[in-house]
Amino acid sequence: MSRKSRYKDTKYFEAEPGLPAPFPGIRPRDIGPATGIVEYQLKRWDRLDRLSFNYYNDVDLWWRILDANPEVLCAVDLFFDSETQEERGQGVAEKTLLIPSASE
């Protein structure tokens, strides 16, 4: 796992004594504080990696934006309706994202 990975300190699943080994994965990571310091009005063609580059000069920090917006469970939900699988189009413009600092 990369040193920059946000999962680098996450614990792996471990077998309980006397039970079979669980699947080879990691436990959910703790989400630390990600206090929004800027409000950004989402536009139709925005992408989280581009916003990350714009605010942090690093495309790999897009997840910080999601951490600051816990009501968004998955980035694709910002741009597509999960029920109809259609682009949100102009409805996207109604969404305001909080942009946190790169680290806290």
Range of the domain at 67: 36-100
Instruction: Report pLDDT for 55.
Output: 95
Q: Residue 21 domain-assigned?
A: no
70 burial via Cβ count (<10 Å: 0-12, 13-18, 19+): exposed
Percentage of the chain exceeding pLDDT 70: 81
Closest by CA to 7, choosing from 24, 23, 26, is 26
How many independent structural domains does the chain possess? 1
Q: In Å, how far are 32, 59, 69 from 2, measured between CA atoms?
A: 19, 15, 25
Least confident window among 1-5, 34-38, 42-46, 73-77: 1-5
Q: Residue 95 domain-assigned?
A: yes
Instruction: Report pLDDT for 65.
Output: 92
In tens, the pLDDT along 82-101 reads 566 566 555 555 688 999 99
